Amino acid sequence: MARLIFKNSSRIFMLSKKLTTLSASLDADIRLVDKNDSLCYIEKTDDGSYRVETIKGKGLEVNGKFVKHYKLKFGDLIETGEDTAVFLDEHEHEQKPVESKSYKNIEYINDNNELKSLSRIILNQLMDETFAEKGMVLLLEDGEPTILVGAEKDGMEFLSGFSETIIKTVLLDKKPLLSNNVLTDERFSPSKSIAALKILATMVVPILRNKTLYGVVYLWNSNASRPFSNSTLAITGFYAWIFSLLVENEKLKQGMQTSLQRVKTNQRLTEWHHLISLNPEMIHIFEQCDKLAVTGSNIVFYGEQGTGKKSLAKTIHDLSDPRAALVLLKLKNKTTDVLSDELSLLSGMDSVAKGGSGKIFIIVDGLEYLPEELYSAMIANIDKFHSARWMFLMERNPDAGETPLDERLKTRLGEIIIRVPALRERSEDIEPLAASFLDEFCAVYSKGIRGFTEKTGKTLRSHRWNGNVAELRDVIKKAVMNSDSDTLESDSLGLESPDAKLTPLGKAKGEFMKRYIKMALEITNGDKIKAASMLRVSHRTIYKYLED
């Protein structure tokens, strides 16, 4: 005989009859509500199994899907519309009245957010229902499990019996594990931490929803005579599903908060055509370019690669005379012969200009990389097209002493020289630019990413961005292409997390001790007793170091 245990009301329905009816009728054994007009029954077959059969309607909702014909398995969840029932074997250990336990909640994150508060309440309830003495909820952060909340019965050591090997296996398999299964699994035989489970009952269940793995629920106690069973596994699976809903809701809120922050930021954001900034120096450059666009002046933009010099020059072209022939001459990483040929082609630009407004707009990128033997050819072109608009993009200030340009060439560049700051000098622009690129590439790749998490913002802000805006744009592009989440996660950026820059204190202490003991052994020519005496430690410490 089997039974149905209802989660909310704690009712137990024994399936003692040959047929158990389920419908909206008041005469049904189990009533279905919420506009469900199905008429179903659960049949106990001759072989002792139980089947769901549908007489009319769309059927019964089992494990989140409607079925018309289905063989029930222990642990299945049946939705009745007002409560959820768990299908269990009567031979599983009986559900006893919930004992009132005093749990000490373990805090691992400083901020007391709503996700933590709800998770703590649900974990305590789960531990009461499964008779667990200790438990915790771990969530994945950049691929690594991190404890969100934990609880223990008073007087117990929280992490005793804790096994990282089991957690990693559950995360890999995406399937739950019980201690009795672990002890017979050959994959765990080399693990020393599994030995502790011989005196513990352990259960680890993945927090999984829509094929997305969020973390695990870990429960254990010291009573191995009453191991966790299939019924407690079904209960924990139900709570793990609730945790998945909480995490999804939190991610959605984070995405909305990120979008809201972007809206607030945009109120102060200056947009100059397709370029944006919060930085006063960049805003001043936008204002300068606005005034210079209507003039015919030549301009030098200098600054590190990827800062947006070319975008500024092209915007001035669009504002001043978009019909003017636009020519881009890139000088970096080219041989003298190739550059000589390109300068020769530049001399024949008259025909190109005739196709538009008759004017030419020339952008020279990397003038400082022009070989000295081609200075005369470049000067000749500038003199020939004296009526053209010239934009020079350089990494160094042409007025600086280290810039290898002779005076003849410098005098032809014009008097307007604008420095474009590096992205790390205008850190307030990192997140608005990232959000702008996120919107751009979500449209290109048809992705529904709402924003990025707080940790993603922290990672973006802490990165040095030696490649400047160009590097940021490329990072966001790749992250959007590879992301399947509704928010942009930190690990999808492919950047080192700011938290990874510091070695954990325990590990750093251990590494220092090893180096220090090695120095002592070198001084004593390998004499372990002398080294121990010098360091004022037991000789066993030296031997332990050598074993490691």
Please write the tens of the pLDDT for every residue from 236-266.
Answer: 999 999 998 888 887 777 666 565 566 556 6
Q: Is 95 inside a domain boundary?
A: no
Q: Is 440 inside a domain boundary?
A: yes
| Range in 395-399, 409-413, 499-503 the model is least confident about | 499-503
Is the pLDDT at 313 greater than 50? The verdict is: yes
Q: What is the mean pLDDT of residues 333-348?
A: 85
Q: What is the mean pLDDT of residues 200-205?
A: 83
| Rounded Cα gap, residues 434 and 210, in angstroms | 28
Enter the pTM of the model.
0.51
Residues 312, 442 within the same domain: no
> Which amino acid makes up residue 202?
T
Give the CA distances from residue 520 to residues 163, 507, 513, 525, 544, in Å, rounded to whole numbers and listed in that order: 35, 20, 11, 8, 15
Which CATH number is 466's domain given? 1.10.8.60
Among 380, 397, 421, which residue terminates a domain?
421
Residues 276, 346 within the same domain: yes
Q: Is 261 inside a domain boundary?
A: no
* DSSP characters over 348-372: TTHHHHHTTTS-EEEEEE-GGGS-G
Structure tokens at 208: 């999984």
Residue 394: the pLDDT is 94
Q: Is 97 inside a domain boundary?
A: no
Residues 188, 279 within the same domain: no
Residues 415, 438 within the same domain: no
Residues 24, 124 within the same domain: no
Among 397, 421, 445, which residue terminates a domain?
421
Is the pLDDT at 199 greater than 70? The verdict is: no
Residues 162, 236 within the same domain: yes
Is the pLDDT at 284 greater than 80? The verdict is: yes
Q: Give 485's pLDDT tier (boundaries 50, 70, 90).
A: confident
Residue 422: the pLDDT is 95
Pairing of strands 299-302, 416-419: parallel
Q: Is 147 inside a domain boundary?
A: yes
**pLDDT per position as a tens digit, 375-409:** 999 999 888 888 889 999 999 898 877 677 878 88
The alpha helices in 106-198, defined as continuous H runs, are: 114-130, 164-173, 179-182
Domain residues for 375? 271-421
| Range in 130-139, 182-191, 457-466 the model is least confident about | 182-191
- Answer whether 148's CB lies under 8 Å from 116's CB: yes
Is the pLDDT at 306 greater than 50? The verdict is: yes
Q: Which segment, 23-27, 96-100, 141-145, is predicted with the most confidence on average?
A: 23-27
Is the pLDDT at 200 greater than 90? The verdict is: no
Residues 124, 228 within the same domain: yes
Share of the chain above pLDDT 70, in %: 81
**Domain count across the chain:** 5
Residues 222, 362 within the same domain: no
The overall average pLDDT reported for the chain is 81
Q: 85: closest CA among 70, 98, 94, 75? A: 75
| 409 Ramachandran zone, left/alpha/beta (phi>0; psi -120 to 50) | alpha
Residues 343, 360 within the same domain: yes
Q: Is 110 inside a domain boundary?
A: yes
Q: Give 544's pLDDT tier (boundaries 50, 70, 90).
A: confident
226 or 489, higher pLDDT: 489
| Rounded Cα gap, residues 359 and 296, in angstroms | 11
Among 226, 255, 284, which residue terminates a domain?
255
Residues 294, 353 within the same domain: yes
Q: Is 181 inside a domain boundary?
A: yes
Within 10 angstroms of residue 9's Cβ, the number of other Cβ atoms is: 10
For residue 182, give every residue at least 6 positions away whose Cβ sits within 8 Å of its Cβ, in sequence order, or none: 166, 188, 194, 197, 202
| Rounded Cα gap, residues 303 and 309, in angstroms | 8
Is the pLDDT at 57 greater than 50? The verdict is: yes
152 or 95, higher pLDDT: 152
Q: Is 266 inside a domain boundary?
A: no
Residues 385, 484 within the same domain: no
Residues 493, 516 within the same domain: no
Phi, psi (degrees; rounded to nearest 5) at 545: -60, -45
